[in-house]
Chains A and B, each alone.
Chain A
Amino acid sequence: MISLAHPIRRKRVLPGLSLSLGTTLLYVALIILLPVVALVLKGAAIGPERFVAIVTSPRTVAAFKITLLAATAATIINALYGLLMAWVLVRYEFPGKRILDALMDVPFALPTAVAGLALTALFSANGWFGSLLDAAGISVVYTIWGIIIAMTFTSIPFVVRTVQPVLEDLDPALEQAAETLGASPFTVFRRIVLPAILPAWLAGATVSFARSLGEFGAVVFIAGNIPMKTEIASLLAFIRLAEYDYNGAAVIALCLLAIALVLLVVSNILQHWASRYREANR
């Protein structure tokens, strides 16, 4: 019966499917899925009424508001900065370009706790930047500005690294033609460059936003962690655990998990769109 499914083998089959697939499934099940299932089961056991009560409690609502607000601000900053960096790195030649390109990966490689420590000290009243801002009457450390700066730093690479390859594929001749026809630089950007890079740009921004929502190490150093003011959602989940309030921790973690999974799907769709756009323009 089984052999009927493949009556003729057109080519010899490579060995190792059962070993490699078995290893992969075992690893994915044990390391990735099992803990996630445990978290979901824990959340399901709480019951809808208590779940809603925890989500709508003022401190949880405040923590989510602060997290979403700061992550949005950090994403907008990085969408603009990342676009600028991608453009400069792809379109111009200048000394030190390769170093500038390599520097874009620093936030990936640098541990977030180290980034948090450095940013906190830099922006504190006697740090390099803090002393300047202090003179202007602006305080960053222990305010939402600190959270935004920490989230911006840790998500720098995402927009640059998704827009860069798309810009590399984009033929400058199109822009040249538009310019010859009398289009202003802004019109050229809006009508030719922007449509081509939009899916990649949005995909990069989505990942940057997801990363900012979950960022912990860099933020806890600089935020001051004042309840209702500078307390982010992942820290509140952490605090609930330390208080042995496992339901509280589970509910916040599940909300963050749900948002992360939705953003994963969105960024996958956008990246699929981006790759189709690139194929179509080849």
Chain B
Amino acid sequence: MNPKKGNAGKWLAYGIVGIGALIMLAPFYFMFVFATHSRTSIFSAPPPVYFSSNLVRNIDILVSTIPFWRNLGWSLYVALASTALTLLFCSMAGYAFAMFEFRFKNILFVLVMGTMLLPQFMNMIPTFMIMDALGWINEPRALYVPGAASAFGIFLMRQFIGSSVPRELVEAARMDGCGEIGIYVRIVLPLLGPAIGTLGLITFIASWNNFIMPLIVMRSPDMYTVPLALRSLQSPVDTQWGALMAGSAIATLPLIVLFVFSSRQLISGLTAGAVK
């Protein structure tokens, strides 16, 4: 498409992209609108298009039906713990892969990357059995410990360290008598800012949205994360749609805020595997 070629084509392109953008945004808009309506007014003809005044009531129903604040707390706790562990372990391992030569380096790296290609459902059943054997059912660590061995995290960290931590700096520190852990803490870590930000965001979002693992290991409603808690509100007979929409909106809002402030970094990180 050549932009200089006449205005008609350009306006057509604007129109198509604009309509597409509206379609992308509309479900979010209705999620927030529905969150402020009662169950009966969500399902009326014509459907509600503007915000109403039922949000507080919906939240009341939400927190009296399920331990929603607790669920929100677990989601936050698991996401933060998962992010912290992943950042620490992946930056350490990524540093080792980027800067050191050691036995089994290549085979280990290939092995780790290979698991990135394997579908998640392959590990679903054995992971449940391992968690059961460890006594980690209903334990938040069942959610954040396994995830810390993130192949994508290692890949991202290795690429970043390889391209932006100068080898000479590491060597010079070593000459000056700085220990290996000191080098990691004082030289490597402070240079990892952008990579930490990107991987941190990706890990936080993935953990926040994760459904299948909590579904398998969290059996008590008190320990549910938000996606599970919302799902438990769905009932074939009598679903409290207003409360459900309020819960969904609360679960989505933090991600939207996070995304508004970091979309460029996040997008470049998530597509890092694609763009050489």
Does A pair with B? no
Chain B residues engaging chain A, CB cutoff 8 angstroms: none
Binding site for B on A (CB under 8 A): none
